[in-house]
């Protein structure tokens, strides 16, 4: 059977699209919100629509077997999946397509590509799932390089070994998460880390971008699962020791977490696993506004209950995702365990929420039989389908983007109100019309939440990127000005670099540059991501 082929113009594989029902629902919702009778939709691009520049470099003979200059391969490896990526995709603008795509199948392939690239002054862009929303896989490297190769790592696939006593596994960096979960299932184990990019995400990519999973408390970040990492750098292989913990100075793993492939290529990792859950309980509670719901989330988060899910959606966010009629904030609450029934934990969390103004909604009272997921299951399904909607919204002229942050509980109220107001004002400045700004919590910690803002507005054909930049810059200024962080659970990439540098101590930036100079002296690995390009 032929391998499934990735779309170059949208999310996921060629055979996976929004259903007609999903498209009708989205079109109706945005038409009602913006008073549009009918949207004009740009057609999906085809490879024949796009004129690619001839490759500027050719691979040496020893690499020819793993290299491709096929148009579709180059198109797939040009962009991630951010809003500006989609605008340029539908404008048929692939000026930054890589010259070559190298498909590594072994660690020796990775070493050979880096050796050639360093000698030939060719930039190397590591590519895993290709889902970056911050420019992390784009071959925008300036003019100091002879060419660019996109190094596809999905051929570094497979679970090498499983230690079921320690509940860990040694996994190759290019393995996609669905394949990993399928491989672990017979042993009753799971990584239990489900980012929104789950169907495409790779192990090395999640580590390099510091991914955050679907679960809202306790083990939420890929950091929590990393036991050791093996990395190929242009100056040699670096592998950390496999230990449950160590206090012997700074951890070498922390250097690679979030490095976005700018310091080395993650070829293997030992990851901590969990037993697959069999007991579940969940439900939803309604609040008059997000601030009352936030207080309930704070108390639950500080109670040591550690729900697997405690999502809070403001009224507009809830309505946009099919929860309610836009009048109440919604808390989605869920617990799960592989060891014991979780009903008492669910009951206590619900009790806290009710004491603080929450009202149970619907008939979903939860279940410990492993079959009923209720509101939490519905939310997870909606969460995983969200990336597909951008391939509809961008071609109908809707500017739709997100930014995630984190803030301590004592500052949340003012932070939320100020950031939301600044973003709404920026939309009107950019488009001349009001838009929609919503907020939800993706993760919750004892000391603060991770608010995730989404904005929607009608864009102007030919000017959507400029409008987006204005809104994103103003929103980012408000985030920093009110004490938050630009990014919460993924690496920085190029999209956020101008703002991210303002929240990083100068001495830390100098330390990162020194590490880059040692590990990648020729500067070939993803230049401009960790250390900005001149003028960035």
pLDDT digits (tens, 9 = 90+) for 88-121: 999 999 999 999 999 999 999 999 999 999 999 9
Q: How far apart are CA 492 and CA 319, in angstroms?
A: 30
Residue 432 φ/ψ region, left for φ over 0, alpha for ψ in the -120 to 50 degree band, beta for the rest: left
pLDDT at 531: 61
Q: For domain 279-387, which CATH number applies: 3.20.20.80, 3.30.70.3450, 3.40.50.2300, 3.40.50.720?
A: 3.30.70.3450
pTM over 0.85: yes
pLDDT at 377: 60
pLDDT at 383: 75
Q: Which fold has domain 170-177+188-275?
A: 3.30.465
Residue range(s) in the chain whose domain bears CATH number 3.30.300.330: 397-481
Residue range(s) in the chain whose domain bears CATH number 3.30.465.10: 170-177+188-275
pLDDT at 2: 64
Which two structure tokens, joined as six digits, stand for 101? 């795509």
Residue range(s) in the chain whose domain bears CATH number 3.30.70.3450: 279-387
139, 123 Cβ separation under 8 angstroms: yes
Per residue in 489-519, is it b (16+ CB within 10 Å) or e — as a string?
bbbbbbbbbebbeebeeeeeeeebeebbeeb
CATH architecture of 397-481: 2-Layer Sandwich (3.30)
pLDDT at 224: 94
Torsions phi, psi for 371 (to 5 deg): -110, -30
Query: Which residues in the chain show pLDDT less than 70?
Result: 1-2, 362-380, 495-503, 531-536
Q: How far apart are CA 457 and CA 436, in angstroms?
A: 6
Strands 122-127 and 147-152: parallel
Express each pLDDT in 123-166 by its tens digit. 999 999 999 998 899 999 989 999 999 999 999 999 999 999 99
253, 272 Cβ separation under 8 angstroms: no
pLDDT at 37: 85
∠ CA 515-518-523, nearest 5°, is 90
CA distance to 203, 245, 524, per residue, from 149 (Å): 21, 37, 10
135, 111, 112, 113: which is closest to 122 by C-alpha? Answer: 113
């Amino acid at each position: 059977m032929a391998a499934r082929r990735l779309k170059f113009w949208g999310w996921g594989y060629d055979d996976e699209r929004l259903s007609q029902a999903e498209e009708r629902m989205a079109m109706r919702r945005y038409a009602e919100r913006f008073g549009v009778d009918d949207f004009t939709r740009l057609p999906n691009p085809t490879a024949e629509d796009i004129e690619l520049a001839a490759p500027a470099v050719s691979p040496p003979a020893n690499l020819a077997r793993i290299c491709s200059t096929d148009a579709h391969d180059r198109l797939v490896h040009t962009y991630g999946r951010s809003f500006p990526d989609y605008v340029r995709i539908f404008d048929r603008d692939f000026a930054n397509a890589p010259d070559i795509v190298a498909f590594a199948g072994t660690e020796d392939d990775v070493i050979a590509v880096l050796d050639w690239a360093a000698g030939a002054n060719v930039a190397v862009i590591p590519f895993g799932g290709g889902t970056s929303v911050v420019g992390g896989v784009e071959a925008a490297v300036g003019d100091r390089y002879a060419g660019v190769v996109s190094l596809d790592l999905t051929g570094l696939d497979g679970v090498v070994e499983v230690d079921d006593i320690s509940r860990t596994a040694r996994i190759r960096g290019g393995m996609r998460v669905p394949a990993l979960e399928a491989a672990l299932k017979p042993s009753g184990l799971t990584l239990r880390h489900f980012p929104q990019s789950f169907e495409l995400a790779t192990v090395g990519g999640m580590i390099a971008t510091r991914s955050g999973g679907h679960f809202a408390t306790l083990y939420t970040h890929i950091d929590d699962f990393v036991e050791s990492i093996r990395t190929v750098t242009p100056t040699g292989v670096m592998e950390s020791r496999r230990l449950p913990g160590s206090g012997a100075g700074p951890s070498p793993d922390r250097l690679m977490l979030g490095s976005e492939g700018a310091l080395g290529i993650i070829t293997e990792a030992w990851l901590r696993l969990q037993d697959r859950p069999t007991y579940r309980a969940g439900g939803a509670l309604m609040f008059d506004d997000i601030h009352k719901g936030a207080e309930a989330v704070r108390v639950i988060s500080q109670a040591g209950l550690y729900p697997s899910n405690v999502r809070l959606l403001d009224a507009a966010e809830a309505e946009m995702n099919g929860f309610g009629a836009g009048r109440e904030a919604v808390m989605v609450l869920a617990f799960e365990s592989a060891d014991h029934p979780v009903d008492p934990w669910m009951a206590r969390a619900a009790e806290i929420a009710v004491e603080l103004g929450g009202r149970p909604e619907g008939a979903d009272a939860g279940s410990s039989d492993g079959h009923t997921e209720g509101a939490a299951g519905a939310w997870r399904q909606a969460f995983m389908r969200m990336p597909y909607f951008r391939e509809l919204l961008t071609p109908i002229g809707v500017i739709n983007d997100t930014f995630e942050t984190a803030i301590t509980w004592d500052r949340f109220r003012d932070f939320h109100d100020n950031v939301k107001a600044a973003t709404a004002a920026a939309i009107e400045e950019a488009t001349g019309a009001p838009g929609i700004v919503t907020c939800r919590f993706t993760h919750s910690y004892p000391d603060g939440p991770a608010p995730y803002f989404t904005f929607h507005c009608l864009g102007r054909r030919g000017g959507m990127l400029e409008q987006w930049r204005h809104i994103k810059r103003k929103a980012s200024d408000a985030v920093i000005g009110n004490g938050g962080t630009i990014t919460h659970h993924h690496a920085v990439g190029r999209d956020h670099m101008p703002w991210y540098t303002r929240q990083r101590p100068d001495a830390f930036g100098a330390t990162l540059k020194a590490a880059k100079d040692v590990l990648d002296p020729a500067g070939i690995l993803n230049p401009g991501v960790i250390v900005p390009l001149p003028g960035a």
